Chain A
Amino acid sequence: MRFKDWYGAAEGAYLRLAGATRRVVVAGLSMGGSLACRLAADHPEIAGLVLINPFIEPPAESFREILRATLAAGTEIAPAVGSDIAKPAISELSYPGSPLAAALSLFEGLDDLVADLDRISCPVMLFSSRQDHVVPVTTGDFLMERLKVPVRRTWLEHSYHVATLDYDAEIIESSAVAFAREVLDGVAGQESTPAARSGAVMESHEGLAVERSAVRERRVEAPAARITIEEVAHVARLARLSLSNSELEQFTGQLAAVLDHAADMDRVDISAVAPTSRPLPVQNVMRDDNPHSSLERDEVLSQAPRVENDRFLVPRILSEGQ
């Protein structure tokens, strides 16, 4: 399967639908978002576009070289991408692997698409998950910079890549339906100034906050900067751990995911709350001042790595020149 095969299938479906109805709004998730954009660029009669974590920004040439080399070395299938979903107990039906040749063809399809993004003329609704482990979160910004039409962007605070199966599925569904009604009524295309765009973003933030109104909440401020590999290296030094470069990279991604999840707490108003360091009140307890036996010295020392004259033996504390 290559890009033209996928696009052929999508375009065929669109044409059948267009033959049966007057106006069509196209929606797509991930690579489906790439195909939806391609359709909108080629068919100016499309009334609106709904994109959920679309894959738009073509990967760097260096990455493609790695894939080509892997392919040349005889590996045709890479581990699958699937089920990037925050909600527990939900999994996506996905293929067990990703064929590398098909991926390279998809990237070429994206190269062509990016050149044609300015041809898209219908209003666009874009849903972006704050945490996405499949498509870089920057792909939404990349898309917005290149589109010439108004974009209404909604941040999904609780979902990963496959957002349509995740916590925010209902929000996506109801917002997309409302958007489709608007574009079919011909009102959505009028918010074209940047101010109006950001207005739409703020509005959908509030829409999400309402979902949890029972908790004391405040508006989410700018997301904290993501942890960098340099910070992870610094923390490793503080924790007396020596990590290889690949461990550093792996930990940076994993810690970032956990810390992103922790940004949830920013919604809770803690201004008048005292910290809890122990769940139950503890008072200082004094024991009677009587001598009692302590651990057996020989038994304790028998477990030490190095001992000399009944003492723990350690290497020198200071290095040369200190």
Chain B
Amino acid sequence: MTPVGEVRASSPVGAFRTAIEIATAVSKGNLSAREVIEEHLASIAAADGEIHAFNEVTSRAALDDADRVDRLVAAGEDPGLLAGVPVALKDNLCTRGAPTTCSSRILAGWRPPYDATVVRRVREAGGIIIGKTNMDEFAMGSSTESSAFGPTLNPLDRSRVPGGSSGGSAAAVAAGFAPLALGSDTGGSIRQPAAMCGVVGMKPTYGMVSRYGLVAFASSFDQVGPFARGVRDAAMLFEAIAGHDEADSTSLDRPAPAVTTLLGGGGNGFRVGVVSELVDAASADVARRVREAADLLASCGSSVEEVSIPMCVYSLTAYYLLAPAEASSNLARYDGVRYGLRVDAPTAEQMTTATRSEGFGDEVKRRIMLGTYALSAGYYDAYYARAQRVRTLILEAFNAAYERFDVLLAPTTPTTAFALGSKTNDPLAMYLSDVCTIPSNLAGHPAMSVPFGVGDDGMPVGVQVLAPALAEPVMFQVAAVLEDGSPPVGHGAVAAERSPAHGGTAEGTSG
């Protein structure tokens, strides 16, 4: 793991603190938010030139926000749950006045006139936005290679992808650039890169977190969720952003569930099902880790059984018709009139066509085409309408499984992180890397990826915990048991966090 060593050696001591440690120390006045931000900016400056986790580092605003938090603490006021904690934002979350590009040429330089609800909530909780992270263009991709601004490299092995589409957020957390990040998950875009970078990534129940200010990809799938180096940190960020928002018509009318208080340690008596079809879709080393995770849960007092959900095999197909169909409609707004790129042409229609043809990359064009075709006269019934009905059957199949099980266990990804460039010319092969994460998006259910040991190549493996709608509390409890019993992840960031007195950081400074 030489690359991790390099990252760690060049990172200041504080860059691998947990979010909980930072928030606790800052609210007590034992650590200044400014110092925290300065340490993380130094880490970014040292290593992000190569990793390219960020499209934009908002240094000045972050330092101003840190000073504001420090003033609140000095004045004896409550700075909030995330006091002084740096948070990296996927570049499809609107930040007022700061560039929000979706890693697309068509939005390059756009400064939104409003903040996304999750951004506002992070700030209100005392969290500090440190930058905007790279992603697959408009979140369409599984490797962060479709970014118009170049790929992000996996901090653990720079010849590999970090996964995607929220690859920049996952890499930022793994590299110690920020203890927390937000991403969006439409078909696995939080969980898949979390697994490949050896961090925790979580997709909430559809409607649990506001989508207001998240640039839309596929509106019936998109959810915003947290990345962290540990389950408890992820739970804290989830609590900060979840809950009803009247600005999102699909927002659930309920408060955020309390999860952090449940994670004291140990969890017993869960009914756990291991989804055979998803385990079968994975390589042998990844499948072995999932079985070890199941054994761990059994040894901690849960009942564990294999469960077959044959409808799973149709998830990928249904998703790759429905999501592009929604995308083709959502991306119709990029017409060169109100924001973003315009390529001049004599008539409005020619201008729109020229703008879109120059502004969108190949993968985005491909999905718009696929979606437009699936929705077009003559094919609607064969593709879109059929996929919507298959979606119903998948949802019913999972709901039936949850009558017998509290949570389901599966791999997050079929393989560990793959080599840069290895799938860019074969869209179908790229799409297949989402096969284990898509079912939860079709069903609208929560799911999260927890690092659990490494594969044969030494790269981290993610085990996925799937739960029924609104069952985030039990999902986090199971995830915490997995985290506490995980085999070594061989990953500097996580190892550092686990060791009680930051044992790992000493080696960082000596290097």
Contacts and interface: CB of A to CB of B under 8 A. Distances in A.
Nearest to A275: B388
B337 interface: yes
B390 A268 contact: yes
A52 to B, nearest CB: 21
A316 B348 contact: yes
A235 B113 contact: no
Contacts of B383: 259, 262
Contacts of A232: 369, 373
A270 B391 contact: no
Contacts of B320: 258, 261-262
Contacts of A296: 113
B351 A314 contact: yes
B113 A295 contact: yes
B338 A312 contact: yes
A283 B356 CA distance: 35
Interface in B326-364: 328, 332, 335-342, 344-354, 356-357, 360
A255 B353 CA distance: 21
Interface of B is mostly: helix
B469 interface: yes
A73 interface: no
B141 to A, nearest CB: 14
A224 B207 contact: no
Interface string A266-280: 001010011111111
B113 A303 contact: yes
Interface in B182-229: 205-207, 220
Given A261-B428, A262-B383, A280-B207, A275 B314 contact: no
A299 interface: yes
Contact of B206 (A216, A257, A279): A279
B257 to A, nearest CB: 15
A212 B310 contact: yes
B317 to A, nearest CB: 5
Nearest to A215: B310
Contacts of A318: 347
Number of contact residues on B: which range applies? 35 or more
A86 B429 CA distance: 8
Interface string A112-138: 000000000000000000000000000
B373 A251 contact: no
B348 A317 contact: yes
Contacts of A268: 311, 314, 389-390, 393
Interface stretch (A26-34, A172-180, A237-245): A237-245
Contacts of A241: 353, 356-357, 360, 365, 368-369
A309 interface: no
Nearest to B432: A88
Contacts of B206: 278-280
A253 to B, nearest CB: 10
Interface in B363-407: 365-366, 368-370, 372-373, 376, 382-383, 385-393, 395
Interface string B280-320: 01110010000000000000000000001011011011101
Given A280-B206, A316-B346, A239 B369 contact: yes
A159 B444 CA distance: 30
A279 B442 contact: yes
Contact of A275 (B316, B347, B385, B445): B385
